[in-house]
Amino acid sequence: MMNVTEALNARYSTRAFLPNPVEKGKLTAILEAAVRTPSWGNTQPWEVFVATGDTLAKIRKGYQEKYANKATAAPETPRPTEWSEAAKKRMQQLHPDMARDCGDAVEQFGLLNQTMFHAPAVLYICMDKILSEWSLYDIGAYSQSLMLAAIEQGLSTIPAITLVLYPDVLRRELKIPDSLKITIGIAIGYADKENKINNFTSGRNSLSETVRFLD
Ligand SMILES: Cc1cc2nc3c(=O)[nH]c(=O)nc-3n(C[C@H](O)[C@H](O)[C@H](O)COP(=O)(O)O)c2cc1C
């Protein structure tokens, strides 16, 4: 059995999945495990819509139409307009690092994002619009719980803003009420290990850059 540190190290953003469907029992086990996530006042703000099969196919089709029409993306958690210098520096390293690890496969990055990484299932995580950014904090913690629980089931994941670029398509196909904000999508499935895009190991800063110990 894998320990927590091993699971943390095993998780990575998987950008190409096999078409094999994810067993419902595994999805349920992951969702059951993730409910142990802490949240402000135990509010448990997450509301999850699991898209697979025909429903996911309809979302994919809806997204393809949006891309074909060059539709404006309108995620409900907007892209930031500003980043700190430290964040910018790390972000700029992402693509060169990917090219180093994946070679030519890096060219598939955009298309894999647009095709939802060929994932057989996507978890769309929502929360009531009335809630604050503290609940968004809870959603982030919940997302990591889901992704670690997936590792235990032999499954891979990626959280991606590109999965939630067109909320109108998601609301239509998943019947998500207007009262809910669609925060993030997490694609889940079996990693396509043949695709070199999955060779990417993203770098991490040393603790000295991000942690201050004060005696
Ligand atoms: C909120 C959020 C949104 C993300 N959106 C995307 C995305 O749209 N496309 C993508 O390829 N990766 C996306 N990622 C994955 C990050 O690029 C990835 O987590 C980061 O580079 C660290 O790599 P790792 O997850 O493999 O450890 C996203 C991650 C998070 C947490």
Summarize pLDDT for 56-105 with one digit per residue, the tens: 999 999 999 999 999 999 999 888 999 999 999 999 999 999 999 999 99
> d(Cα 116, Cα 110) in Å, to the nearest integer?
10
Work out the percent of the chain whose per-residue pLDDT is above 70.
100
The answer to whether residue 208 is domain-embedded is no
Angle at 71 between CA 65 and CA 72, to 5 degrees: 145
Please list every protein residue whose CB sits less than 6 Å from any atom of ligand 1.
12-13, 15, 94, 113, 158-162, 184, 202
Report if residue 214 sits inside a domain: no
Whole-number pLDDT of residue 188 = 99
The total of structural domains in the chain comes to: 1
**What is the extent of the structural domain holding 9?**
4-202
Report how far apart the first and last C-alpha atoms of the chain are (Å, whole number).
Answer: 36
9 falls within a domain: yes
Please choose from 11, 13, 133 the residue to mutate so as to test ligand 1's pocket, defined by most ligand atoms within 8 A of CB.
13
The tokens of 78 are what? Answer: 């907007």
Give a yes or no: residue 215 inside a domain.
no
211 lies in some domain: no
CATH of the domain at 62: 3.40.109.10
Q: Considering the domain boundaries, does residue 197 fall inside one?
A: yes
Q: Does residue 46 fall inside a structural domain?
A: yes
Tens of pLDDT, residue by residue over 120-139, are 999 999 999 999 999 999 99
Distance 202 CA to ligand 1 centre (A): 10
How is residue 45 written in tokens?
A: 């703000």
Measured distance CA(14)–CA(189) in Å, rounded = 9
pLDDT digits (tens, 9 = 90+) for 86-99: 999 999 999 999 99
The per-residue DSSP string of 139-188 comes to HHHHHHHHHHHHHHTT-EEEEEGGGGS-HHHHHHHHT--TTEEEEEEEEE
pTM listed for this prediction: 0.97
Share of the chain above pLDDT 90, in %: 97
In a domain, 131, yes or no: yes
